[in-house]
Amino acid sequence: MPSSPISAQLTKLRQLRTAPIILELDLTDGLAETRPTDPLTAIASRNRAVLPDVLDGLRRARGDARVTTLVVRLGGRAIGLAAVQELRAAVADFAAAGKTTIAWAESFGEFSASNVQYYLATAFEQIWLQPSGDLGLTGIAVERIFLRGVLDRVGADFQVAKRHEFKSAAEQLTETGFSEPARQETERLTASVTEQIVQAVADRRGLPRAKVSELIDAGPFLAVRAQAEGLVDELGYRDEVYAHARKQAGPDAAVLYLARYQRGKVLAERARAAVTQASAAPEPGVALIYATGPIRRGRSGRGPLTGGAMGSDTIAAAIRSAVKDANVRAILLRVNSPGGSYVASDTIWREVVRARAAGKPVVVSMGDVAASGGYYISMAADEIVAQPGTITGSIGVITGKPVLGEAIGRAGVSSDLITHGAHAAMFSQLRPFSADEWTLVNEHLDHIYADFTGKVASGRGMTVEQVDEVARGRVWSGADALAHGLVDELGGLDRAAAIARRRAGLPDSAPLRIFPRVRPIDRLRPPASSESRAAHASLLADGWGPAWQLAARAGLSPYGPLMLPGTWIFD
């Protein structure tokens, strides 16, 4: 007699509770630094993996005897180099627990660069590639478009003041190619990244470094050539990858997304915690604060042109909240930011200083980018941990404006001006700065640069002269920043958390708790005061006012003078 559908379903559920587990993770949609807080973005990115969740899921799975295998699909949207390095370390730890790790891709690039995706794949014991795919191991390139010739042709100009020669954010409008300092900086940065990739491929694929360098010069590769050169292990389609995984794990193995596995573990732990919560005091732990996106004054939020931004009010309030919480013994500040507003950065820096003065150790974990203002908010921490591929430094300042009077005149547009006040029209885009206005601009930049470098010196235990040697607006990789004393250690979020626990005298199992802890209802009702935990929470987007429009027209960041130039995502 055939079994009923209900009986079959119960049998399947029993098997799922006891069968070996093959965890799968799809990274073709990229990887988010943290889960969005506003509802619209959360819905739009619901299928995107989140780095802390992935790391925590792999950490839990290491000790789970039922989990035998990890299968990860690669080859899609770009993932930041520092995030890839965190994942590589987590995959290595997972494999060290006796688990099988398999990476597969339909294509690493589809005849385009995919160096970083392949770099991630080398952390796995086995790399599979679809027979029709290819491997874009081609080396690192940084390309910029320069518009100086166009501005000259239309009669426009661009005035820029910067501290110092490596602060190159405006060069696309003032130069026809890389300036010598920008070329020097970029060549060293690309060399550092290439060195890291070459070493990893050599170590993981059992190839000499010289051979890997030769292969990079010979890429990209068709799938057959990639296998012949020892860069991938097997050629096959998805069904063949999973058949191979099941052969190793057992025919009854259950396939489960890592996110679903992680969610089940978290819910089970919460249920167990709820049983004892009434009688037990909250366990002391570490506050984890995400400082993500360009830095601006006001609240964190999102906008139609600029995406997510870090608001100084929001981050400062989170730090104050953590300081006041008796169960928080240390603060872990996760920084992933290209910088922005000097004033907003200084607001956050002040709260880091106050937290340390209150006896709460502060440890910074740098993500893909923690430069300019991102470095500013990090420099006062007790310790700074970065990945070798983190983009950091850029200790400098820049400002400027376009001068469009002649250009619009050529088009037959005229203008007139009435002012009251010697500098009332100082920020007009139709005329250049006067001599005394230019003096004011440079005094402003001198003040910011002196303040920035002085605080770096104080926070890092260096002289101002030592800071100036590695500052001047120069961008460094995390590996080079360590050599120059700008960071303390190389590692990821887990390593930074371990340091925070140690500094606070907490056990290795002490929890990380995300701050600010704001409930959905808190985003809807008005706060009682600026000290309320929801005072600086944003439901959706915040307004910027007209300043972002002027900056965008000038070709600069809409956020402020402490901004990393260009886009630093490597393929």
In a domain, 128, yes or no: yes
Chain segment 389-418, per-residue pLDDT in tens: 999 999 998 888 888 888 888 888 888 888
In a domain, 167, yes or no: no
Domain edge (last residue) among 264, 297, 321? 264
Statement to judge: residues 287 and 364 lie in one domain: yes
Domain count, the chain: 2
Statement to judge: residues 356 and 445 lie in one domain: yes
Lowest-pLDDT range of 24-28, 66-70, 180-184, 367-371: 180-184
Statement to judge: residues 449 and 318 lie in one domain: yes
Statement to judge: residues 317 and 226 lie in one domain: no
Q: What is the CA 504 to chain-centroid distance, rounded?
A: 26
Chain segment 429-459, per-residue pLDDT in tens: 888 888 998 889 889 989 999 999 999 999 9
Statement to judge: residues 348 and 224 lie in one domain: no
> H/E element holding 393?
strand 391-393
Lowest-pLDDT range of 68-77, 271-280, 427-436, 470-479: 271-280
Statement to judge: residues 253 and 327 lie in one domain: no
Query: 92: alpha, beta or left, given left = phi > 0 and alpha = psi -120 to 50?
Result: alpha
pTM of this prediction? 0.86
Statement to judge: residues 259 and 351 lie in one domain: no
Chain segment 111-141, per-residue pLDDT in tens: 888 999 999 999 999 999 999 999 999 999 8
Statement to judge: residues 308 and 251 lie in one domain: no
**Residues near 90 by Cβ (< 8 Å), separated by ≥ 6?**
54, 55, 58, 59, 492, 494
Place of tokens 């000259």: 152
Residue type, 156: A
CATH code for the domain of 301:
3.90.226.10
Mean pLDDT in the chain?
Answer: 86
Q: Are 197 and 115 in contact (CB under 8 A)?
A: yes
- For 349-361, letters b (16+ CB in 10 Å) and e give bebbbbbbeeebb
Statement to judge: residues 498 and 531 lie in one domain: yes
Chain segment 484-507, per-residue pLDDT in tens: 999 999 999 999 999 999 999 999
Note down the domain range covering 51: 17-138+219-264
